[in-house]
Structure 1
Amino acid sequence: MQTAYVVVTVVAALMAGFSGTVLLLRAQWIVRALTDYSVPRSWWTWLGLAKVAGAVGLVAGLFLPVIGVLAGVGLVLYFLGAAVTVARARWYAHIPFPLVYAAPVIGALALGYAA
């Protein structure tokens, strides 16, 4: 069980870190999406930093569990908020994308609780 927890947590951290990094680097595909969803440009850096901080928190949670739980809950709320933002923009076909990023975080939280 411990091995699964570590693997899922690292995968979740890598996914969240990737998502935050491409936002901070202003990758064209993410800029286009955020513009389509009407996310204010002034929020982009903060959103990217939140994802990167969540990724770091997940990894830190392997050593200090309370940090991992807080980071995981924050990331789940972040990605649920992203799904709501996509739905409000009426891009219904894009709703699964933030949920795909939330899934391993939820898995890490569940495995951490079970361990």
Structure 2
Amino acid sequence: MFITYAVIAALMSAVLLASAGAKFTRPKRLVDQMSTLGLPDGVLPFLGVAQIAGAVGLVVGLRWGPLGIAAAVGLTLYFIGAVATHLRVGDFKGTPPAAVLTATAVALIALRTASL
């Protein structure tokens, strides 16, 4: 279970860091999407920091399991919020990626708990 956690945590961390980078560089496509979702531009740095914290927590969780679990719980809540936000405005194209990331975060909780 630990090896599976390690692989998925590394992949999820890479995705999170790439997404966080976009939150800080603010490409037009992302700014337009956030506007469609009804989120102000000022929230982008907060979202980016949350993603970086989640990525770091997953990686440190390789060594200290409880932090990995806590990071995965936080990411689960983050992506549940993302799914809810997409559904609230009827953005059915943006909902599946957020749902997949939610499911991945839940799997990380289970995998790291099982490997303690």
What's the TM-score, normalizing by structure 2? 0.90
1:104 Cα deviation from its structure 2 partner:
2.5
Match of 1:113? 113
Q: Percent identity?
A: 32
Q: Classify the secondary structure of the residue corresponding to 2:47.
A: helix
1:11 Cα deviation from its structure 2 partner:
1.1
Q: How many residues align?
A: 115
**Aligned residue type for 1:77:** L
Structure possessing the higher relative contact order (Cα contacts under 8 Å, 6 or more residues apart): 1
Match of 2:44? 44
Aligned-residue CA RMSD in angstroms? 1.3
| CA offsets 1:11-66 (integer angstroms, 9 cap, x no match) | 11111222112111112222111011110111111111111111111101111111
Q: Does 1:99 align with 2:99?
A: yes
What's the TM-score, normalizing by structure 1? 0.91
Match of 1:6? 6
Q: Does 1:35 align with 2:30?
A: no
1:2 Cα deviation from its structure 2 partner:
2.2
**Aligned residue type for 1:4:** T
Match of 2:60? 60
- Work out the CA distance in 1 between the residues paired with 2:106 and 2:15: 13
- Work out the CA distance in 2 between the residues paired with 1:93 and 1:113: 32
- Work out the CA distance in 2 between the residues paired with 1:23 and 1:17: 10
What 5-or-longer segments of structure 2 have no aligned partner? none
1:67 Cα deviation from its structure 2 partner:
1.2
